[in-house]
Structure 1
């Protein structure tokens, strides 16, 4: 049985912002059958003074607002509190990789539901490797 890591614990996930729209300017003839999904992600880590907790936020911007090329657009932000027992390099790395990946897991079904409810095929966001991302403070 695999060992369950409790180095980093997440609590109080909050949806902070949702902007979504259907583009009135969309021209289907300008797109292909499948959309090239390019995510613009930004995550921020705010440590408390004692370095025993942090608030990590993730913002995702998807497609351009009122574009002729894309039928929909999104700007979604959520955040959660994370805590740990002892701050070290491993925790710092996890706050910048594992924490935003967990936050993304809350945003993915929201975007899928919104697209389906708008009479489009469900948009399933790809997984993101945050270890390749620049660290945001």
Structure 2
């Protein structure tokens, strides 16, 4: 049985990757790599459709962190009339970014695995809580 909430094929719309050349990987310190995410939801007026984009930033452009990566993944989501407004908001702000993150995860892993610092695997994210 098909879900009342559907999406188009997600697409990568932006990717930036920088190695911080002055990062000293020989220091014996534990590195905390910062990760920020934001979700943009653009609903179509008078239509059961919205563009959802997930923007992910990992690391920083400074000498204390090995790399910086920014990636944006998006898809169009649509739903039928049987879903109420509250459910649609949850689907667009929780389920949609979770799905988009699952498409970004292997991209980030592949790009970072090509660096001298090894693969970075994005952890699971709880989209039911505010991001910032």
Fold-level similarity (TM above 0.5): yes
Residue matched to 1:82: 77
TM-score (norm 2): 0.88
Deviation at 1:76, TM superposition (A): 0.5
Alignment counterpart, residue 115 of structure 2, candidates 110, 114, 118: 118
Structure 2 unaligned runs (5+)? none
Q: How many pairs were matched up? A: 130
Deviation at 1:122, TM superposition (A): 1.2
Q: Is the 1:28–1:69 contact (alpha carbons within 8 Å) kept by the matching residues of 2? A: no
1:1-137 to 2 correspondences below 5 Å: 6-29=3-26, 32-33=29-30, 35-65=31-61, 67-86=62-81, 87-133=84-130
CA distance in 2, matches of 1:125, 1:77: 14
Q: Is the 2:34–2:60 contact (alpha carbons within 8 Å) kept by the matching residues of 1? A: no
CA distance in 2, matches of 1:36, 1:51: 43
Structure 1 unaligned runs (5+)? none
The SS at the match of 1:110 is helix
Deviation at 1:24, TM superposition (A): 1.2
After superposition, the CA RMSD in angstroms is 2.0
